[in-house]
Amino acid sequence: MHTLTVSEMSAGLRARKFSSLELTLHLLGRIERLGPGLNAFVTVTADRALADARAADERNAKGDGGPLTGVPVAHKDIFCTDGILTTCASRMLSNFVAPYDATVVRKWREAGTVLLGKTNMDEFAMGSSNETSFYGPVRNPWDHARVPGGSSGGSAAAVAARLAPIASGTDTGGSIRQPAALTNLTGLKPTYGRVSRYGMVAFASSLDQAGVLARSAEDAALLLEAMAGFDPNDSTSVDTPVPRYTAELKQPLQGLRIGLIKEFFGEGLDPAVERCVRGAIALLQREGAVVKDVSLPSLPLSVPTYYVVAPAECSSNLSRFDGVRFGHRCEQPKDLLDLYRRSRGEGFGDEVKRRIMTGTYVLSAGYYDAYYLKAQKCRALIAGDFARAFGEVDVVLSPTSPTAAFKLGAKTSDPIAMYLNDIYSIAANLAGLPGISIPCGFINDAGTELPVGMQLVGPHFGESRLLSVSHQYQLRTEWHKRAPKGYA
């Protein structure tokens, strides 16, 4: 049963080929047996899952179930879940039990999904390899010596290893798309404001966006329908109608205008990765898509811009974790200042401290104009480049990551090298655009077969087109169906 996609599980549940309880027990058994080797889960909610499954079976028996009723899911441990630990993979929140559900969690629950557990992640979503977690690194199911990508690496590893059919993630600078590419999944980051951020612990408020990690574009469309929509609890939520994404998957490739981002096909891109992406482009052309080069000259500014804006917002958002109201508190503080210093020093990991310090610096008097204000101007230039490109093409295309999955520990001592791993994905967040990564091939690295991802970015609220292009590509290829050895 673990080999079934969400769409196939939904059909099987409706046809009474198996029950949600049987499905859930099967997946919980896989998590117990295979999960420890990946370290993909922070919390496994077995009792909650069995209760959810029984309730779903009752709904289906009465004919009250929907397409997701009884489908097991996992949530990244950044989403508040009522009565369950929500740690953000940090010592700071290691004992925090959320008193309410995030909107994404609530919507998936109302759709009838079954919660298997909460997945590991980079601490407070800060990282590109899932090595900054307080609970230890997550391992890539394609090669346990390699990273799964970050910060949604736990969700990616769980879905890739068939421990869960689908999982939520968050994307601040590529944290859904990059792990999707490194683990052979479909990873969707919606338009900023399309999905509520309420109950999602904030890292960088103007960049964070909830999305999904799935095994196909069809599955991603199903879950996006359930999670998208206006939320009065979120001031950044956009009140615009939600399309039937699954009904629009049949849009043809014929006549599709694709722009190849020239700036992303050059220095730093692994030639083997480029060959896979070029092969995918050739297939799209054979199916009638029109391909042209487009230049977005401000894109090289994406990484420095992001690493001013994101740390600045992180410095502000994480100031609330002070050891007074909630979170980790040091033992026997001498005074209030000692309480602040030691609680934050003990509660946060090195990468979080690095970004807080950077953000505090760029927001400080005398440096605000030189760094933060200038970064916001660069951000406007990047958004303008995309707007001009979408006057000529329907979507833009690039590799998702410059390389396949790298070895654990390979970049932990060099933050700049780690940051550059998101060089192709950051721009979509700065511009608030939707993006998707889909599998497009494999490369061989020292005898290990590793997946490669291709990224598509569309105009605001262009998720339907991104999903339909991805779905049509996946109807013509088998890359996304391949599973890691030992997990099939």
The catalytic residues are 76, 151, 175
Structure-token match 């199903």, residue found: 222
**436-450: b or e for each residue (b if 16 or more CB lie within 10 Å)?**
bbbbbbbbebeeeeb
In DSSP notation, 39-100 reads: T-EEEE-HHHHHHHHHHHHHHHHHT---TTTT-EEEEETTB-BTTBB--TTSGGGTT-B-SS
- Both structure tokens of 244: 């039937």
Q: In what order do the strands lie in the sheet with 290-294?
A: 41-44, 114-119, 72-76, 167-170, 210-214, 186-189, 435-445, 448-457, 395-399, 257-261, 290-294
Q: How far apart are CA 432 and CA 171, in angstroms?
A: 11
- Both structure tokens of 475: 């109807």
The secondary element (H helix, E strand) that includes residue 383 is helix 374-389
CB 69 within 8 A of CB 24: no
Peptide bond before residue 129 is cis, with ω within 30 degrees of 0? no
State which amino acid sits at residue 279.
Answer: G
In sequence order, what are the beta bridge partners of 444?
A: 449
In DSSP notation, 305-339 reads: HHHHHHHHHHHHHGGG-SSSSSS---SS-SSHHHH
> 3-state SS of the chain: helix, strand, coil percent to 5?
45, 15, 40
Q: How many CB atoms lie within 10 A of CB 217?
A: 26
Q: Burial-class residue 346 by CB neighbours within 10 Å (0-12, 13-18, 19+).
A: middle
- Which of 437, 408, 440 minimizes the C-alpha distance to 171? 437
β-bridge pairing 186-189 and 257-261: unpaired
The conformation of residue 195, written as its DSSP 8-state character, comes to B
In sequence order, what are the beta bridge partners of 79?
A: 200
Cα torsion through 71, 76, 82, 84, rounded to 10: 100
CA 182 to the chain's CA centroid? 12
- Both structure tokens of 286: 């054979």
